[in-house]
């Protein structure tokens, strides 16, 4: 169980290979957890409570929490992994949930317009308060997703050479300044890269694709950022509709992987 986030501690985040235990569990100190949680919330929602419940223009779904976890309305089946119901299941183990949230499998808003008509309702205010109070549990959920990422990625590769390359790049990144943060954040941001649905023209943009495109003979974190920029730029090029407006923000996010 990750220690609770109490305030913000501005120190460098250096995590050694010991951050992974023998069982592939990520071990974080309280200070490391604080920094990662705050960085993810800043990346996704500028650390603003009102941005814990949003429906972005041009999207078919709302997003919630520090990780902007997706929740599809009824009859909407998009190409991205739906993560908010999984988060709610995770929160329910330790946190009392409002009745409406327990009884609702799909997002209860049929459109962005209806979502923002409801934005200041008792239901929505209560949801933002729940999400603001459960930042440690949300980070724990994100970390657990990260812990399962490497086995999923390796299982999707056909040859030993491919598996060895991805495994090597994963652990090279994990040993760098900001490496664990970059891995956790990118998986939360763009997924593991293993879902067949998360492809444009057969090409994905998740962590798997980033690690596949990394070179050995390079500074590790700049190379991780270069490979991530490559797969995200390829996504925009392959997208069935214009996604170019997102690319500057994605690139700004990648730059945080290089900063202490």
The string of pLDDT tens digits covering residues 228-252 is: 999 999 999 999 999 999 999 999 9
The string of pLDDT tens digits covering residues 197-214 is: 999 999 999 999 999 999
Per-residue pLDDT of the chain (260 residues; tens, 9 = 90+): 333 332 322 223 333 443 554 456 777 777 777 788 888 999 889 999 999 999 999 899 999 999 999 999 998 988 888 999 999 999 999 999 999 998 899 999 999 999 999 999 999 999 999 999 988 889 889 888 888 899 999 999 999 999 999 999 999 998 898 998 999 999 988 999 999 999 999 999 999 999 999 999 889 999 999 999 999 999 999 999 999 999 999 999 999 999 87
Task: With CA atoms as reference, report the closest residue to 223 among 172, 152, 188.
Answer: 172
Surface-to-core class of residue 39, CB atoms within 10 Å of its CB (0-12 exposed, 13-18 middle, 19+ buried): buried
Q: Which residue has the tokens 């992994």?
A: 81
- Give the number of residues written for the chain: 260
**pLDDT (0 to 100) of residue 44:** 87
Task: With CA atoms as reference, report the closest residue to 212 among 174, 149, 162, 175.
Answer: 162
| Beta strand segments in the chain, E | 53-54, 63-64, 69-70
Tell me the C-alpha distance between 243 and 236, whole Å.
Answer: 5
Task: With CA atoms as reference, report the closest residue to 108 among 87, 86, 134, 85.
Answer: 85
Angstrom CA distances, 209 to 116, 152, 228, 238, 240, stand at: 35, 13, 8, 15, 19
Task: With CA atoms as reference, report the closest residue to 246 among 189, 207, 201.
Answer: 189
């Amino acid at each position: 169980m990750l220690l609770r986030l109490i305030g913000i501690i501005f120190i460098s985040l250096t995590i050694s290979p010991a951050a992974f235990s023998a069982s592939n569990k990520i071990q974080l100190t309280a200070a490391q957890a604080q920094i990662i949680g705050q960085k993810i919330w800043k990346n996704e929602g500028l650390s603003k409570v009102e941005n814990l419940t949003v429906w972005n223009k041009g999207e078919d779904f709302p997003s919630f929490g520090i990780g902007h976890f997706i929740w599809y309305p009824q009859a909407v089946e998009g190409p991205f992994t739906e993560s908010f119901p999984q988060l709610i299941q995770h929160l329910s183990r330790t946190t009392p949930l409002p009745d409406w949230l327990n009884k609702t499998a799909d997002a209860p808003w049929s459109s962005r317009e209806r979502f923002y008509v409801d934005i200041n309702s008792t239901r929505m205010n209560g949801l933002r308060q729940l999400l603001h109070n459960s930042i440690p549990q949300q980070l724990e959920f994100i970390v657990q997703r990260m812990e399962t990422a490497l086995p999923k990625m390796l299982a999707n590769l056909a040859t030993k050479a491919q598996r060895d390359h991805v495994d090597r790049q994963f652990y090279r990144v994990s040993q760098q300044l900001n490496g664990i943060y970059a891995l956790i954040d990118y998986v939360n941001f763009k997924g593991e890269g293993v879902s067949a649905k998360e492809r444009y023209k057969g090409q994905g943009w998740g962590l798997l694709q980033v690690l596949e495109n990394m070179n050995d003979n390079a500074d590790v974190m700049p190379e991780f950022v270069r490979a991530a920029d490559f797969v995200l730029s390829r996504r925009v090029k392959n997208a069935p509709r214009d996604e170019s407006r997102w690319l500057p923000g994605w690139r700004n996010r990648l730059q945080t992987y290089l900063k202490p």
